[in-house]
Amino acid sequence: MTAQHLSCEQLKTLVRTVPDFPQPGIQFRDITTLIGHHQGMAASVHHLATLAKAAGAKKIAGMEARGFIFGAAVAVQLGIGFVPVRKPGKLPINTIGIDYALEYGTDRLEMDPGAIEPGQNVVMVDDLIATGGTALASAELLRMAGAVVTQAIFVIDLPDLGGATRLRGAGITVDALMQFDGD
C-alpha cells in the first residue's frame, strides 16, 4: 500500500496520546509520531492537499510552528506559495499583526503584509484545532492583508473544545483528517 493510500483512520493510529500532559487530566495528541513515519506524513500531506485544491487554494497559510510543517508541504505539493503566520519579532521586515486572547493573557501573530495579493484565496493549514483562538486570529490577520479566507484544514480536530464551531461562525469551512473526542 502506498503512502497516499493510507486512510485517515490508519493515520489516526500513528498519533500518540500522552496522558496527563501538560497537566493532569489532559490527553495530549502528539503528532511527532505521525510526522516521523514517512508514509504517514506523505499520506497526511496528500489528504490535506486534496482538500486545499478542492477549496481553490492560491496560497497556503500555516501558523507557527507545526502549521509550517504541514502547510509548507501542502503548498509544495500543490505548486503554490506558502505564507507563514509568525510569532512576534520573527520577521526582519515591517509586519502587520494582531493581538488575541488566550485563556490566561494575550498573544500576537504577525505576517508580511506583501505576502498576499488582494482577493487571493488562502487556505489555512495547521496540525490541530482546539479552542480556535489562534486560527481565528490568523484568519483575521490574513483578511487584514487582503486574503479571502473561507477554508481551514487541520490534521486533528478536538471537537469538544469548540474551535471548529467558532471558525464556522466566522464563515470558515473546517475540515480535519481525524478527530479525538475528549480533551
Q: Are 33 and 11 in contact (CB under 8 A)?
A: no
Which positions are catalytic? Answer: 66, 103
Flag whether pLDDT at 183 surpasses 80: no
Quick one: how far is CA 132 from the chain centroid? 10
Flag whether pLDDT at 3 surpasses 70: no
Q: How far apart are CA 45 and CA 76, in angstroms?
A: 10
Flag whether pLDDT at 1 surpasses 60: no
Residues 68-82 have a mean pLDDT of 98
Q: Which domains does the chain have, with CATH numbers?
A: 46-179 (3.40.50.2020)
Q: How far apart are CA 109 and CA 87, in angstroms?
A: 5
Residues 89-111 have a mean pLDDT of 92
Q: Are 71 and 122 in contact (CB under 8 A)?
A: no
Instruction: Cell 489532559: give the residue.
Output: 26
Q: Buried b / exposed e across 139-150, counting CB within 10 Å, b at 16+? A: bebbbebebbbb
Non-local CB neighbours of 6 within 8 Å, separated by 6+ positions: 39, 40, 43
pLDDT in tens, 111-162: 999 999 999 999 999 999 999 999 999 999 999 999 999 999 999 999 999 9
Q: Are 62 and 138 in contact (CB under 8 A)?
A: no
Q: What is the pLDDT of residue 102?
A: 79
Q: How far apart are CA 165 and CA 36, in angstroms?
A: 30
Flag whether pLDDT at 45 surpasses 70: yes
